[in-house]
């Protein structure tokens, strides 16, 4: 899935036809965690400890939260202290 968040301070990629700003690609996966778990810790635990193919591939990318709104934009992976 991908989305267009409108004009970007970085300009636009000419290959992104139909987008007004930079195209953002979303890689998504549901993970098991307890209700009310800290989303940052849950994601970091999944990426660091899970032995699934999905976790391995996702751990090769940066992870930025989009929800909850109060944490939107926070980079939670990679982590320097792991």
Q: Give pLDDT tens digits for 13-54.
A: 788 788 887 777 777 788 999 999 999 999 999 999 999 999
Mean pLDDT of the 58-70 span = 90
State the DSSP code for 81: T
More confident residue, 56 or 4: 56
Please report which residue ranges of 34-77 form alpha helices under DSSP H: 39-49, 53-59
Question: What pLDDT score was predicted for residue 29?
Answer: 84
Question: What pLDDT score was predicted for residue 81?
Answer: 57
Q: Smallest Cα–Cα separation from 27: which of 59, 70, 73?
A: 59
């Amino acid at each position: 899935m991908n989305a267009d968040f409108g004009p970007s301070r970085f300009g636009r990629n000419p290959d992104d036809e139909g987008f007004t700003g930079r195209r953002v690609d979303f890689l998504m996966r549901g993970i098991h965690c307890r209700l009310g778990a800290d989303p940052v810790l849950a994601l970091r635990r999944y990426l660091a400890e899970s032995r699934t193919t999905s976790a391995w591939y996702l751990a090769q990318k940066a992870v930025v939260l989009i929800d909850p709104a109060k944490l939107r934009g926070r980079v939670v992976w990679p982590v320097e202290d792991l």
